[in-house]
Amino acid sequence: MGRSSILLMGILFTCCWAAMADAEYMKYKDPKQPINTRIKDLMNRMTLEEKIGQMTQIDRTVASNEVMKKYYIGSVLSGGGSVPAKQASAETWINMVNDFQKGSLSTRLGIPMIYGIDAVHGHNNVYKATIFPHNVGLGATRDPVLVKKIGVATALEVRATGIPYVFAPCIAVCRDPRWGRCYESYSEDHKIVQAMTELIPGLQGDIPSNSPKGVPFVAGKQKVAACAKHFLGDGGTTEGINENNTVISRHGLLSIHMPAYYNSIIQGVATVMISYSSWNGVKMHANRDLITGYLKNTMRFRGFVISDWEGIDRITSPPHANYTYSILTGITAGIDMIMVPSNYTEFIDGLTSLVKNNFIPMSRIDDAVKRILRVKFVMGLFENPLADYSMTKYLGAQEHRELAREAVRKSLVLLKNDESADNPLLPLPKKASKILVAGSHADNIGNQCGGWTIEWQGLSGNITAGTTILTAIKNTVDPKTEVVYIEKPDAAYVKSEKFSYAIVVVGEPPYAETFGDSLNLTIPEPGPSTIKNVCGAIRCVVVLITGRPVMIQPYVDTITALVAAWLPGTEGQGVADVLFGDYGFTGKLSHTWFKTVDQLPMNVGDKHYDPLYPFGFGLTTKPTKVT
């Protein structure tokens, strides 16, 4: 009896041990398993509730450890200016992200959430981050290698705050500068935009040569998942009105606005964001033909498709008028993750009801969740879900600031340098007895960074670490040169003071999205008055800080030299580097500079093309040792 009891106990122990081992071994948690095997294993374990949670992205303002756990939330984001604290440190960011992540990891299956943020010209929400020139300036560099380096630096700074996903690059083709997002576009020419998709391998890492087309790729803990946006035609709306209707043939849409998406997908972009705009009257968030038919089926994109902020709400007019219809239409169109961002329970309940009542097939939900999980597995989130503090050193790193300074130098476009070639004003002499610096943008970090900086709309003032153009000028001139700064000098004063020359720095105030839409594209006062008062009295160089070509024709004859500096970001020293001849001007216009707004839209190749400065224009100077 004793021996059979021992034998029976042994058999039971062996069976229990085998059962426990089997229960503990989950293929989806094994990094040695192929990704498709891991996805299949995890999908087989998930309930509808867990799947719909994965499709939901909420803003950090409504997120918490408990919310992540209760609703199985798949993603959290920071909208523009949505930060854990004013001037928050990298450590504060990491603590917040990790707290949300711990909520996700404590769920039944422990699926990590993915945290996303707008890092559209560097890690622009974060205090003391390096702010690079906006895309409008980078397009003028014609330098994809430089843009790739900016991607590498941005990924490091984003990871420094514990974040693994960025809503960048914007690969819109801005066909009309009246659009308030034109500065987010590299060019009116799709070929330049295509070249600048090099930002993607900078952010994500170089895709392996044997990788199948369309499969997302992210190369480890120092890289971030990227997002090509906004699909499709966002830069071609009527009169440049943001979120408006793009009226164009299918051939035109595919030949102008689609090409950069081919490049992005070949480079392994992880996600694609849908545009608020419409194409020939059909909202893009509702366009199944282009999202599922073209992006997913024809181009074989295998990452996930994400909506814009409350993007499905805007399928109806007014927004949110019939939210059940919006959910049904957006999900059926092929959107995989919905940026809710605050009223997430309404979305979860609505989508659950639509699936349970057979309005949305389970196959559509499974397609969405597979794509989201694929990106999470590719990123290594299951192996390394929590951020550590070892990367905080990269935030605002000196080598990144040097790279941004180089980008500023290469982005400057010289539009005029005196009429007579034998007497150019630029490069400026460093040794001068007294020089005047004037203008609202000369000593203002916020103005030179533009929108999407610290806050969604940007801010005027010295809002983060960096070098203003005034400080850069003082750093560059001879120590004996007197630099006088007066923001709005009058003409009589300028004439009376015996200045050697003047530098006038004026332009647009910060703005983002619809707030930047402009039908007249004029520089606001006191910009024009400052140009008139200073340049009417003395030889001057006007440095324009703008997100696009603006109305400058009335003042050109008064101005000795004219420089388009776009929105250069925090490293104003790059402007002085070129003004004073340490480096030459090399930038070329990637957007046509119009004479009057009545000509718009006007793009290179148009039949009636009569610009003030044509696409590709840019005077050059050689570096000099001039004193």
Q: Which residues are catalytic?
A: 308, 513
Answer yes or no: are the C-beta atoms of 478 and 466 closer than 8 Å: no
Beta carbons within 8 Å of 316's beta carbon, 6+ residues apart = 322, 325, 326
Beta carbons within 8 Å of 220's beta carbon, 6+ residues apart = 205, 380
Answer yes or no: are the C-beta atoms of 435 and 476 closer than 8 Å: no
> Of the candidates 167, 224, 212, 142, which has an alpha carbon nearest to the alpha carbon of residue 589?
142
Residue type, 146: L
Residue 203, token pair as written in the block: 């952010």
> Of the candidates 266, 354, 254, 258, which has an alpha carbon nearest to the alpha carbon of residue 302?
266
CA atoms in the 13 A half-sphere facing the CB of 194: 12
Cα separation of 101 and 155, whole Å?
Answer: 20
Answer yes or no: are the C-beta atoms of 449 and 459 closer than 8 Å: no
Cα separation of 24 and 45, whole Å?
Answer: 13
Phi, psi of 547 (to 5 degrees): -90, 5
Alpha helices in 434-526 (DSSP H): 445-449, 469-476, 491-496
Measure the CA angle with vertex 260, ends 510 and 332; round to 5°.
90
Residue type, 21: A
Cα separation of 76 and 204, whole Å?
Answer: 19
> Of the candidates 283, 343, 279, 285, which has an alpha carbon nearest to the alpha carbon of residue 312?
285
Residue 240, token pair as written in the block: 């440049």
